[in-house]
Amino acid sequence: MSDDFDLPPGPDAGTDSNMFRDAEGHISPLWLERLRAYLEAGRHDDVAMVMAPLHHSDVGDVLEQLDAEERVALVQALGDKFDFSALTEVDESIRLEIMEALPNADIARGVAELDNDDAVFLLEDLEQQDRDEILDALPTFERLALKRSLDFPEESAGRRMQTDFIAIPPFWTVGQVIDYLRKEKDLPDEFYQLYVVDAAYKVQGTLPLDKFLRAQRATKIDAIMNTSFELVKAEEDQEEAARTFERYDLVEVGVVDESGRLVGVLTIDDIVDVIHEEADEDIKLLAGVGDEDVSDTTVDTVKSRVPWLVVNLFTAVMVSFVIGLFGATIDQMVALAVLMPIVASMGGNAGAQTMTVTVRALAMRELDGGRLRRLIRREMVVGVVNGVIFAILIGIVTALRYGDYQLGIVIGLAMVINMIVAGTFGILVPLTLDRLKADPAIASAVFVTTITDVIGFFAFLGIAGLWFGLF
Amino acid sequence: MSDDFDLPPGPDAGTDSNMFRDAEGHISPLWLERLRAYLEAGRHDDVAMVMAPLHHSDVGDVLEQLDAEERVALVQALGDKFDFSALTEVDESIRLEIMEALPNADIARGVAELDNDDAVFLLEDLEQQDRDEILDALPTFERLALKRSLDFPEESAGRRMQTDFIAIPPFWTVGQVIDYLRKEKDLPDEFYQLYVVDAAYKVQGTLPLDKFLRAQRATKIDAIMNTSFELVKAEEDQEEAARTFERYDLVEVGVVDESGRLVGVLTIDDIVDVIHEEADEDIKLLAGVGDEDVSDTTVDTVKSRVPWLVVNLFTAVMVSFVIGLFGATIDQMVALAVLMPIVASMGGNAGAQTMTVTVRALAMRELDGGRLRRLIRREMVVGVVNGVIFAILIGIVTALRYGDYQLGIVIGLAMVINMIVAGTFGILVPLTLDRLKADPAIASAVFVTTITDVIGFFAFLGIAGLWFGLF
């Protein structure tokens, strides 16, 4: 390989795949610099050479590191050597940007090489027109399989499933199956179990490969297959399917249509992505961030966050009106204005703690009858105990700060009330949203902090007004 | 089966396993009531009969639904029929409670039946003395394997690994391996790939079962094995191992000791648990909740939450002192006290948004050089844009509310400043914690809200004081 560039020192990072990532697992800056140099110089063969050893996930990581123009340049430099499954590993905004920049014919060629589930993943977020153009450019069999998957609802098991699987009749022997596997060219890329089906493709049993391998050639399949197995409905939500996987420690599960016919399989790698997405969604929704990635544009980010901030502005103004009711009280005793945020802030934090535990328990389906009652009882007691602890602490601090034990008593009383309110609504708000079929992660935080703010200010200013006769 | 109990109406839920879960996937209350009745009456055979069809994860769910005494009663009623792997599916507090109530000899009998990784999982949280007693009661081979796993650090790959795996020499043929698998009795319960090792157990290659199955009997193993494969070090943190799994869509990976010797394997079901734990931890830490489960006792819950609330009390008092600096200003214009929480609250929310995105990006290792710079730039711009949007909104609302456009300008200015501060520190705080090798999820929220509170109050009251000449 000729090397007439002014490249950084060090070993030949391009051919030594160990140098692709540094000790901490980050992509090596030296490696990336070399790739950029090749891209800029249009040296397509060298680009192909340094990219060749990379796993498609690593290619995805490289794409995320590059700038918008470099990404498209990389895909085009690689041409037919670009594995489109790398696009399943990048953030949605980057994926759409690259796919919009490529001619639909190129996408169709790349998609044709993919497993059905990866192809659906790439196509599902495209504009209807682009999608149709790409589908039309595919071979009939692939097109029909993809169309069927795309007909299932978004985020359903049917969307995520792989439509290649190995189905065998129950009356075959182990030997027949092995011979079939050795002969058949068109097998799925990866499979972990065989599906034993009748003529109507109804599943009679499953046979994990490890069990299958231990059986003698003459053994009949129906003598060794598992007759107790899980199946997932194609219309089912992917989160439900993920829970089934986790509950039964599965690596692969069959997907059936309404008539019970085996139409595809879900494998654990898809489910790991779902589990991640789901947890990520909960975290972001709790903080009032939409379905956002670090690679989103500024405009998308503003669009995602403004609605939550508008809601917060509305509730903050509402809370401010509550404080306004006590304007005359504050006017007579400025210390109240100085102290009031403490009560509200403690309530807000205690409420967030209870709420988070409740939201997670709901998400993991941990709140059946008995456990729910125990949780409610516990949170009430925790509210009272924490209320008393912090009432005493803040009471003492306040009494010392202002040399006024009565002010200490007032803030302590308000604290107990607000901590109990925080525990109560920290659990009731997400529970009510869940009963109303809303996602408790979305709006719980806004409701709970508004309640603890209002009650915090109201209790403190109200008790103070009564105690000191300021009304 | 005789049925002299006053049981709830409906089909015979005990023998019909479909009735174990209702339509929504919850354990059927009728089923549970029957189990409780059998337990109370000491009808061990009936208990065993209704429990028999359940998967060990379902047994875990049942245990979580029962009261403390019922749990132990159930385990004892089942006796040798109790599969201890059910205990890997319950919350830590419940697991410890059950294991403390059982004689160590019973636990040893149960643990001896388990896979090595499940056994380690049960033993690792026990008191040293109980653990030693149980280990001493185990057969020598199991004891040594467990001790070796327990010697690896907590939450390491070595702790989570399964020590049963299939290692074969590279010069065997496919036929020889199949014959070996058919003959050998002591194989792992589940396996997805074969490990090709040299005499020193150094891994030469891996062979997924699906690939192995497609090869002819006469094929030599080293002709078809994968020579490019991932391995995990036993000392490595389980989260690192989880990232390797996700990055390369693995279902199983070999674990090697310092000398590169294959000592175990990690399978995807363990990793799914790790992924879940990790996301769960982030969510809870962000909300100031420790490693807490819904089944924790009240005392444990209070213990987990009080430290965070103490920190918050401390910062809230600090913020209150900042407000105190402006006591004279507020005294001259009570409207300031009424309006000031709005600025602080908006800053707190905007800061939480930026912080959450940053914490998650750090957790997923998405912030390499280029992406980090882009994120910082984006958040600055978002802070300015949102600052201007909400400055105008709150400025108008305030001007109308008080009929005083100057007050509107003052609150608007404070809002712009605080939103920019929120964006800046929302990203800098988690980043700094990460650089200092602290978990950014733990303390970010406290720092960020304290900063936005202090700046919010300070900017608003300070600008107002200067503008209206109140100092």
Model confidence pLDDT, tens digit, residues B113-154:
888 889 999 999 898 999 999 999 999 988 998 998 999 998
Which pLDDT band holds residue B245 (cuts at 50, 70, 90)? confident
Interface test mutation site (partner A, options B250, B356, B435, max chain A beta carbons within 10 A):
B356
CA atoms within 13 Å, Cβ hemisphere of B26: 15
| Residues of chain A contacting residue B341, judged by C-beta atoms under 8 Å apart | 316, 319-320, 323, 341, 344, 453, 457
Residue reference for tokens 């010069």:
B171
What is the per-residue pLDDT for B173? 96
Residue in B with minimal Cα distance to A228: B53
Q: Coil, strand or helix: which one is A193?
A: strand
pLDDT at B75 over 50: yes
Task: Identify the helix (H) or strand (E) that includes residue A312.
Answer: helix A298-324
pLDDT at B1 over 50: no
Q: Is A208 on the interface with B (CB under 8 A)?
A: yes
Q: How far is B269 from chain A (nearest CA, A)?
A: 5
Strand partners, B266: B253
**Mean pLDDT along residues B379-404:** 94
Which pLDDT band holds residue B4 (cuts at 50, 70, 90)? very low
- Angle value at C-alpha A399, between B448 and A382, nearest 5 degrees: 60
Shortest CB distance from B397 goes to which of A243, A286, A317?
A317
Q: What are phi and psi of B173, to 5 degrees?
A: -100, 165
Record the tokens describing residue A123, joined without a space. Answer: 């196509």
| Residues of chain A contacting residue B319, judged by C-beta atoms under 8 Å apart | 341-342, 345
Taking a C-beta distance cutoff of 8 angstroms, is the pair A230, A244 a contact?
yes
Taking a C-beta distance cutoff of 8 angstroms, is the pair A157, A236 a contact?
yes
Dist CA B114 CA B110 (whole Å): 7
CATH classification code of B17-157: 1.25.60.10
| Residues of chain A contacting residue B350, judged by C-beta atoms under 8 Å apart | 305, 309
Which pLDDT band holds residue B426 (cuts at 50, 70, 90)? very high
Cβ-Cβ contacts under 8 Å between A and B: the total is 320
| Residues of chain B contacting residue A275, judged by C-beta atoms under 8 Å apart | 272, 275-276, 279
> Do the bridges between strand A262-267 and strand A252-256 make them parallel or antiparallel, or are there none, so unpaired?
antiparallel
Q: Using one digit for the tens of pLDDT, what is the confidence trace for B85-123?
A: 999 988 888 899 999 999 999 999 999 888 888 999 999
Query: Which residue type sits at B211?
Result: K
Query: Which residue type sits at B105?
Result: A
Alpha helices in A14-156 (DSSP H): 29-41, 44-51, 56-65, 68-78, 92-101, 104-112, 116-123, 128-136, 140-151
Taking a C-beta distance cutoff of 8 angstroms, is the pair B297, B93 a contact?
yes
Q: ipTM score of the complex? A: 0.76
What is the per-residue pLDDT for A422? 95
Is A309 in Cβ contact with B361 (below 8 Å)?
no
Record the tokens describing residue B66, joined without a space. Answer: 């029962």
Residue in A with minimal Cα distance to B454: A341
Is B213 in Cβ contact with A178 (below 8 Å)?
yes
Q: Is A230 on the interface with B (CB under 8 A)?
A: no
Burial readout A107-117 (b: 16 or more C-beta within 10 A, e: otherwise) = bbbbbbebbbb
What is the per-residue pLDDT for A16? 47
Is B283 in Cβ contact with A356 (below 8 Å)?
yes
Residues 351 to 370 of A: which have CB under 8 A from any B CB? Answer: 352-353, 355-357, 360-361, 365-370
Residues 312 to 351 of A: which have CB under 8 A from any B CB? Answer: 312-313, 316-317, 319-320, 323-324, 327, 330-331, 334-335, 337-342, 344-346, 349-350
Crossing angle of helices B335-363/B440-467, nearest 10°?
Answer: 150
Q: Is B302 on the interface with A (CB under 8 A)?
A: yes
Which pLDDT band holds residue A402 (cuts at 50, 70, 90)? very high
Closest among B96, B158, B162, B157 to B126, alpha carbons compared: B96
Shortest CB distance from B375 goes to which of A268, A289, A294?
A294
Record the tokens describing residue B404, joined without a space. Answer: 């005083």
What is the per-residue pLDDT for A3? 40
Residue reference for tokens 């525990």:
A423
Which pLDDT band holds residue B77 (cuts at 50, 70, 90)? very high
Is B268 in Cβ contact with A349 (below 8 Å)?
no
Residue reference for tokens 């010392």:
A400
Residues 392 to 421 of B: which have CB under 8 A from any A CB? Answer: 393-394, 397
| Residues of chain A contacting residue B340, judged by C-beta atoms under 8 Å apart | 337
Q: What are phi and psi of A162, to 5 degrees?
A: -100, 130
Closest among B451, B461, B457 to B351, alpha carbons compared: B451
Q: Using one digit for the tens of pLDDT, what is the confidence trace for A24-82?
A: 777 888 898 899 999 999 999 999 999 998 988 889 989 988 888 899 999 999 988 99
Q: How far is B265 from chain A (nearest CA, A)?
A: 15
Q: Coil, strand or helix: which one is A23?
A: coil
Q: Which of A270-279, A323-332, A427-436 has the lowest mean pLDDT?
A: A270-279
Residue in B with minimal Cα distance to A376: B294
State the CATH architecture for A298-467. Orthogonal Bundle (1.10)
What is the per-residue pLDDT for B16? 47
Contacts 24+ apart (CB under 8 A), B69-78: B70/B36, B70/B39, B71/B97, B71/B98, B72/B98, B72/B101, B72/B102, B73/B39, B74/B35, B74/B39, B74/B47, B75/B102, B76/B102, B77/B39, B77/B42, B77/B44, B77/B47, B77/B48, B78/B44, B78/B47, B78/B48, B78/B51
Is B280 in Cβ contact with A269 (below 8 Å)?
no
Dist CA A387 CA A393 (whole Å): 10
Q: Which of A283-292, B67-76, B198-207 has the lowest mean pLDDT?
A: A283-292
pLDDT at B181 over 70: yes
Q: How far is B120 from chain A (nearest CA, A)?
A: 18
The answer for residues whose C-beta is within 8 angstroms of residue A307's C-beta and 6 or more apart is: A290
Is A337 in Cβ contact with B341 (below 8 Å)?
no
Task: Identify the helix (H) or strand (E) that includes residue B168.
Answer: strand B167-168
Dist CA B331 CA B338 (whole Å): 12
- What percent of chain B shows pLDDT beyond 90? 58
Taking a C-beta distance cutoff of 8 angstroms, is the pair B168, B221 a contact?
yes
Is B317 in Cβ contact with A397 (below 8 Å)?
yes
Record the tokens describing residue B53, joined without a space. Answer: 């069809």
Q: Using one digit for the tens of pLDDT, what is the confidence trace for B268-325?
A: 888 888 887 877 888 888 888 877 777 788 888 888 889 889 999 999 999 999 999 9
Is B29 in Cβ contact with A272 (below 8 Å)?
no
Query: Which residue type sits at B43?
Result: R
What is the per-residue pLDDT for A284? 83
Q: Sketch the domain layout of chain B as residue ranges.
A: 17-157, 167-286, 298-467
- What percent of chain A shows pLDDT beyond 90? 57
Pick the CATH number of A17-160 from 1.10.10.1800, 1.25.60.10, 1.20.1250.20, 2.40.30.10: 1.25.60.10
pLDDT at B442 over 90: no
Q: Is A253 on the interface with B (CB under 8 A)?
A: no
Is A378 in Cβ contact with B301 (below 8 Å)?
yes
Residues in chain A: 471
Q: How far is CA B73 from the centre of its chain?
A: 30
| Residues of chain A contacting residue B305, judged by C-beta atoms under 8 Å apart | 350, 353, 382, 386
**Mean pLDDT along residues A181-189:** 86
Dist CA A306 CA A293 (whole Å): 16
Which pLDDT band holds residue A190 (cuts at 50, 70, 90)? confident
Taking a C-beta distance cutoff of 8 angstroms, is the pair A134, A87 a contact?
no
Task: Identify the helix (H) or strand (E) that includes residue A206.
Answer: strand A203-208
Q: Is B69 on the interface with A (CB under 8 A)?
A: no
- Angle value at C-alpha B12, between B9 and B15, nearest 5 degrees: 155
Interface test mutation site (partner A, options B210, B230, B362, B367, max chain A beta carbons within 10 A):
B210
Is A453 in Cβ contact with B57 (below 8 Å)?
no
Q: How far is A133 from chain B (nearest CA, A)?
A: 30
Shortest CB distance from A268 goes to which of B67, B214, B268?
B268
Which pLDDT band holds residue A391 (cuts at 50, 70, 90)? very high
Shortest CB distance from B289 goes to which of A188, A302, A353?
A353
pLDDT at B364 over 90: no
What is the per-residue pLDDT for A115? 86
Dist CA A35 CA B290 (whole Å): 44
Per CATH, the homologous superfamily of domain A167-268 is CBS-domain (3.10.580.10)
For the beta sheet containing B167-168, the strands, ordered from the edge strand earlier in sequence to the opposite edge, are B167-168, B193-197, B203-208
Dist CA B79 CA A162 (whole Å): 42
Task: Identify the helix (H) or strand (E) that includes residue B231.
Answer: strand B231-233
Query: Which residue type sits at A347?
Result: G
CA atoms within 13 Å, Cβ hemisphere of B413: 15
pLDDT at A94 over 70: yes
Tell whether domain B167-286 is in CATH 3.10.580.10. yes
SS3 for A213-279 is HCCCCCCEHHHHCECCCCEEECCCEHHHHHHHHHHHCCCEEEEECCCCEEEEEEEHHHHHHHHHHHH
Dist CA A69 CA A40 (whole Å): 10
Shortest CB distance from A283 goes to which of B58, B182, B356?
B356
Contacts 24+ apart (CB under 8 A), A373-378: A374/B294, A374/B295, A375/A427, A375/B294, A376/A427, A378/B296, A378/B297, A378/B298, A378/B301
Residue of higher predicted confidence among B13 and A461: A461
Is A243 in Cβ contact with B389 (below 8 Å)?
no
Which pLDDT band holds residue B10 (cuts at 50, 70, 90)? very low
Dist CA B221 CA B366 (whole Å): 38
What is the per-residue pLDDT for A57? 87
Record the tokens describing residue A453, joined without a space. Answer: 């703010």
Q: How far is CA B227 from the centre of its chain?
A: 33
DSSP per residue over B236-283, as a string?
SBHHHHHHHHHHTT-SEEEEE-TTSBEEEEEEHHHHHHHHHHHHHHHH
Q: How far is A43 from chain B (nearest CA, A)?
A: 23
Query: Which residue type sits at B202?
Result: K
Residue in A with minimal Cα distance to B380: A298
Residue A311 to residues A347, B392, B409: CA-CA distances in angstroms? 20, 15, 21
Q: How far is A261 from chain B (nearest CA, A)?
A: 20
